[in-house]
Structure 1
Amino acid sequence: MFEKSLTTLIKGLRSHRGRDEATYISNRIQEIRTEVRSADMEIKAEAVLKLAYLRMLGYEVQSASFPVLETMASSQYHIKHIGYLAAALCFSEDTEVLILATNLIKKDLHSAQPLDVQAALNGLSHVINKELAQHLSEDIAMMLTHTKPRVRKRAVLVLYSAIVRYPEVLERTWERLRDLLCDSDQGVVTATVNVICELARRNPRPFVPLSPQLFEILTQTSNNWLLIKVVKLFGALARVEPRLVRKLQRPIAEIISTTPAMSVLYECIHTAIIGHMLEGAGSEDFAMRCIDNLGQFLSDTDQNLQYIALLALAKLAPTHPALVAQHEATILAAIRHPDRTIQVRALDLVCQLATNGSMRTILDTLLTYLEEPQGGASAGGASHALQSALDAHATVRTADAPQLPDADDQAGLRTQIAESILELGGADAYAHVPDVGWYFGLLQRLMVCVCPDVAQQVADQVIDLVHRFATLRPAACAALEQRWLHAADERLGRDTAEGEWLRAGAWVCGEYPEYITAPAQLARAVLQSRTAELRAPVLAVCIQSALKLCAHYAASLSPVWNAAQRSELEQLVDYLLAQLAPLVHHQDSDVHERAQESLQLLTILQQGLASELGAALPSDQLGAVDPVEEHSWDDRAAAESRTAPRALHLLEPLFFTRGDIQDDEQALPALPPSFDLHAWIVPEKAWDAILAHVEPAAKPRMRPVESTARAPSKGNRHKDPSRPKKSKKREQVPSTPHAAMEDGELNDIPIVQLSLSDLTPQNPAHGAPSASSDTPATVPTVQPKIVTRKKKARS
């Protein structure tokens, strides 16, 4: 039997690791199945122990549940201990044989041997389900008053599992649970506080009555672990009982000032934050003390302290931004920390601290981080980098040594920093940007060092920024124009970021061509030969921009029109037509549509210039009108109308309709701060008072048709008994059109009777008058007859 012990099994597994391991496990399981059926409890217990070890390795051993139950029922403690250990590893809440273990566990709980009780409690904490909790709740409650502190401590821990699965157990054991907070054994008190703390995480309200006992523990205990649990428990209770906040401020502040344990210090600060103890009057000093301690955590070399300090400061930033901003430099420096989690937390906290005054410093610092070279190459060159890599592999990394982030983490962090810059700058329509010119330059620097995923966002923000601020347009158009004019043909759109930047430049220059110094040259650059290789969204914007620049350039030639200008314009139109012709067959629908429209519009402009050639002055007389000379306005206008073709202004109205309206006039007027679009114009409370002064609308009355004789309707011969009788004396009927119509006047409405003979056309042959020539022969003329009903003679 000893040759097939657990030690032998472990040695065999190690010797067969990597080769026929599955076969070896299968053979051992067959042997174990034979051993568990043995009558010798020692052999059975050893087999159960080997099954428990195999279960730890991940193998299924559910078929051996009954042998485990047999070992649990042994009278020998070492066999019983093996049985409960195997049950804790192999059983689950839905194991079928658990129902058979109810009486067995009950018997062990009431055993005179404390070891048997402890073994039963240890196993029960792992296998307990709702049925066991319901049947064994009284037995567990009895163990709470056991004479042995070890039993009471284990019983409290089992009680937590029972309450989670069967909440009614809490009501039955409430008094004993409260008494355990005052137990003489420190371990029992710690276990009780731990159970209450875990239950309060689910619902803290039932445990508010335990505050006096917990407050006594808070002020008297010297056990740091117990103190942490009590402080954390008060943090949960303070959320549902605001009166605890004022009571806890003083003792927690004393613990923060006196404790040397960092764990207790942080837990007290965290409890003060989540318990709203740092808010309200008189809490400014307490908040300053907490934030100062968190600042010391940030400067510590321990990464764990730095991380939890960033978490706590992030919770304090909404309520105490000025105090947290005192550590802004340390937080910005934490973005360069090798630990990725610290970098992310520091970046989130920096975004919360950004204000109008600190926006420029924060964004410049973040952009400087992005502009640093990637890869970690130092100034020593390649040899120094290789030596550093060899030293890094040769050195054993300890738990305290920071690990350098890999390339994927570094790229992800750079993307997150770039997105944070765009989010901070564009918040509230750039309300926090101190200078839009500076921010435009920052976006130019950002475009160089961002990934393709963020490049589109940067380009969109450049377009939006120039569109919103008219003062930025001259400088932005000048910078973007030079970017296009100096773009080498072989480097055009070589990557996504460059293409997005060109898209932004094309859109801005095409939308505001009045700030462009060389529109014709820029139109050629926008539609150069390599432009067709750009991505479809960029290419579509370039086509539209080139057409706008051409339209503006053609209209600008009208005051100085001469032969040289005509030749230059015709060359520009011919160049654009040649570049657009291949793009008509582009696969992208947007590019195809814009190329086709631009091609047709430029063709119309070309034909317009050619058709007006004869109407213009001779070429030797073009330019005879000197705009510098002193002419009257009428003479100059007449001269320009004779020389400049009307086709020059053909395309400009299609894109630029602003005219003389200024940009400030185009913008919507700003609403006053006190104007609330969601508020009622008339408050709801005033509705009743308003409706009370409104008179109800009068019922309309009709004037009866006068007739000499009135008769009751034949259809109303049966009188309604509920109808009131009419007075014999006829009342005077009001003649107003809005008067109400009496019931008796319904008989006065004239009735139109139609005869079937009126619906047939009259035959002119029988002497009837023929229809007029204006009336069609197929439409009969019907003469309605008005019949008045005569009143019956009253007897």
Structure 2
Amino acid sequence: KAVALQKLTYLSSLHFAPVASHPLAFPAIELIASPQLPHRRLAYLAASLSLHPASLSLLPLATHQLHKDLSPSTSSAANHHVTALALQLLASPAAAAAPDLPVHLAHDLVPHLSRGSPRAIAAAARVIAASPSAAVPVLFKPLAACLASPDPRASAAAAAAFCELSAPPADAAPFLPLAPDLYNLLTTSRSNWALIKVLKVFARLAPLESRLAARIVDPVCQLLARSAAMSLTFECIRTVLTALPAHDAAVRLAIGKAKEFLAAEDDPNLRYLGLLALGMLGPAYASTLHECRGVIAQSLGDADSNICREALHLMMGLIDDSNVTDIAGMLVSHASKSDPEFANDILGAVLSACGRNVYELVSDFDWYVSLLTDMGRNLHCAQGDEIGRQLVDVGLRVQDARPELVHSSRTLLIDPALLGNHLLCPVLSAAAWVSGEYVNFTKDPVELVEALLQPRISLLPMSVRAVYIQAVLKVITFCCNLYVERLSDSSKEVSVALNGLSMDQTVSGGSDAPIGSSNGQITVPRMMEKDPFSLKSVVHMIN
């Protein structure tokens, strides 16, 4: 049985299949009572994998044996090993799947807590997290007493336990009575690991009690100033910036340390932590972020993708109506040189910031239309849907931006290289719709029609080609209408023009220019050759 269970446990760990899904789940509980220690070690390992809702029917069989193994009645070396195995089982994450088992064994943990066993402390924390209503009355006080233990291993384990129990979404208020013991640990412990856990707990407690913040600020600053451990230094920075923002001297010290992290050119981890610390600054210290804008912008090109994304997050936090032009332009320019994934992160962030609350940050819409066009020309752009939506939306909302919108749409439509990129189809569709809807602002309708009917549009989806054809009809209709209106004052010229269109005859005039055809020539006044709304232009577009 032990050999079969060993194989099953290995396969379960390898393929993440629960032991209880196999008929050998019962032997895992059966072997816990084996007199041989290797068998029991294997059985406890298998049991830690089998504790889940499908195996709850086996728990009564295991509870009695765990009671015996946790009993401190014997002091043999073998019993110590078995007790350690039982505590390890209760401390495993699998125990949370069977909350009844830890509750039944809560009283058995108290003697082990009184001895300051780190395994018992970890097990008690897991039991309290699984069933707080039943376990807290039994285990909270013995666990709190471990904070004052002379054994540094026990005090560090207790600090880690309370750090885990007070973590969000848990309410940190019940842990306020522990402040004196935690403060004593903060000022006397020499374990960086324990200090980090204590600082995490204080960061959650300080906002709940203002006097506590004033009490811990000096020890935290002393740690921040003298510690050579970067992990502890960063935790001090985090505590100051998130829990002690009212203490200006402490915040200034933390900012100075964060800038030292940013200056560590040979260590990307420290640079990332420095950026992370700057992101914790409140609005009162926004000027500090602006002072570091150059370093943040430089970090956008870092080889570490985490640093790049954190720098982007900080840059977006710097944007306001006074600098949106500079920052957004710089980011879009940087996106053209970045890898596709990060380039789309940049473009998405810029689109979100500038489009927030109906473009509240944008005052110059001609600039913004040009920026949208530059984003749409990025070959790696996957934000085509949002760019196209905003191009149309700006045209509908801002009349003064329509001339620039039509001009920018032209630059998109005449570029044949964009037609082969399926990610940009929404952008091209929006550009075609804008060009047809606001054709009165176009300077060269002939060029526009040629761009809308170029052969490579066959690469576009049918839905986009339909928008192209609709735009062509709008342009031709507009040109014909304008041509007729310009000749309406001269009935003679209108008659000649209509005859030329219907009968394909010669139009006489002072100084003529020929238009070639298969059957003859149409001559129009030479002054109309360069006029996009001339007869020649209209006939060319219709053909």
**1:305 Cα shift?**
3.1
Shift in alpha-carbon separation, 1:198–1:424, aligned structure 2, 3 A = closer
Alpha-carbon contact 1:503-1:541 (below 8 Å) kept: no
**Match of 2:476?**
546
Q: How far apart, CA to CA, are the structure 1 residues paired with 2:52 and 2:471?
A: 65
**Match of 1:22?**
none
Return the match for 2:255 from 274, 291, 297. 291
**Aligned 1:293-692 pairs, distance under 5 A:** 293-300=257-264, 301-316=266-281, 320-372=285-337, 410-433=339-362, 435-451=364-380, 453-465=382-394, 468-469=397-398, 472-474=401-403, 477=406, 487=414, 493=419, 495=421, 507-508=433-434, 510-512=436-438, 515-517=441-443, 521=446, 525=450, 528=453, 530=455, 533=458, 535-559=465-489, 561=490, 563-564=492-493
1:211 aligns with 2:179: yes
Q: How far apart, CA to CA, are the structure 2 residues paired with 1:234 and 1:574?
A: 92
Return the match for 2:109 from 140, 144, 150. 140
Matched letter for residue 33 of structure 2: A
SS for the counterpart of 1:324 is helix
Alpha-carbon contact 1:55-1:90 (below 8 Å) kept: no
Q: How far apart, CA to CA, are the structure 2 residues paired with 1:555 and 1:416?
A: 50
**Match of 1:126?**
89
Q: How far apart, CA to CA, are the structure 2 residues paired with 1:573 and 1:469?
A: 41
Alpha-carbon contact 2:241-2:254 (below 8 Å) kept: no
Alpha-carbon contact 1:415-1:450 (below 8 Å) kept: no
**Aligned 1:29-48 pairs, distance under 5 A:** 36=1
1:200 aligns with 2:166: yes
Return the match for 1:73 from 33, 38, 41. 33
Q: How far apart, CA to CA, are the structure 1 residues paired with 2:277 and 2:31?
A: 51
Shift in alpha-carbon separation, 1:71–1:507, aligned structure 2, 3 A = closer
Shift in alpha-carbon separation, 1:160–1:429, aligned structure 2, 3 A = closer
Shift in alpha-carbon separation, 1:124–1:179, aligned structure 2, 3 A = closer
**1:252 Cα shift?**
1.9
**1:65 Cα shift?**
5.0
Shift in alpha-carbon separation, 1:566–1:113, aligned structure 2, 3 A = farther
SS for the counterpart of 1:111 is coil
**Match of 2:146?**
180
Alpha-carbon contact 2:241-2:280 (below 8 Å) kept: yes
Alpha-carbon contact 1:118-1:154 (below 8 Å) kept: no
Q: How far apart, CA to CA, are the structure 1 residues paired with 2:500 and 2:429?
A: 25
Higher relative contact order (CA 8 A, sep 6+): 2
**1:517 Cα shift?**
4.6
Whichever of the two has the greater Rg, that structure is: 1
Alpha-carbon contact 2:370-2:408 (below 8 Å) kept: no
CA distances 1:101-148 after superposition (whole Å, capped 9, x unpaired): 3333323322322541452243244255434333322221122223xx
**1:522 Cα shift?**
5.8
Shift in alpha-carbon separation, 1:53–1:433, aligned structure 2, 3 A = closer
SS for the counterpart of 1:173 is helix
Matched letter for residue 298 of structure 1: L
CA distances 1:41-82 after superposition (whole Å, capped 9, x unpaired): xxxx66655554454445747544555555533556555445
**Match of 1:159?**
124
Deviates more, 1:474-483 or 1:293-302: 474-483
Q: How far apart, CA to CA, are the structure 2 residues paired with 1:249 and 1:574?
A: 95
**Which blocks of at least 5 consecutive residues in structure 1 are unaligned?**
1-35, 37-44, 375-409, 576-618, 623-795
Alpha-carbon contact 1:87-1:123 (below 8 Å) kept: no
1:270 aligns with 2:234: no
1:106 aligns with 2:63: no
**1:457 Cα shift?**
3.5
Greater helix share, 1 or 2? 2
1:246 aligns with 2:214: yes
**1:189 Cα shift?**
0.8
Matched letter for residue 112 of structure 1: T
Matched letter for residue 177 of structure 1: L
**1:223 Cα shift?**
0.8
Shift in alpha-carbon separation, 1:349–1:567, aligned structure 2, 3 A = farther
Shift in alpha-carbon separation, 1:52–1:620, aligned structure 2, 3 A = closer
Shift in alpha-carbon separation, 1:568–1:310, aligned structure 2, 3 A = farther
Deviates more, 1:136-145 or 1:60-69: 60-69
Shift in alpha-carbon separation, 1:64–1:284, aligned structure 2, 3 A = same
Alpha-carbon contact 1:310-1:346 (below 8 Å) kept: yes
Q: How far apart, CA to CA, are the structure 1 residues paired with 2:371 and 2:45?
A: 65
Deviates more, 1:441-450 or 1:198-207: 441-450
Q: How far apart, CA to CA, are the structure 2 residues paired with 1:570 and 1:357?
A: 60
CA distances 1:274-316 after superposition (whole Å, capped 9, x unpaired): 43x21x4xx3443333233233333434333333443443343
What TM-score do the two structures reach when normalised by structure 1?
A: 0.54
**Match of 1:765?**
none
Deviates more, 1:215-224 or 1:55-64: 55-64
**Which blocks of at least 5 consecutive residues in structure 2 are unaligned?**
459-463, 511-543
**1:206 Cα shift?**
1.4
Total equivalences in the alignment:
487
Aligned-residue sequence identity (percent) comes to 26
**1:272 Cα shift?**
2.9
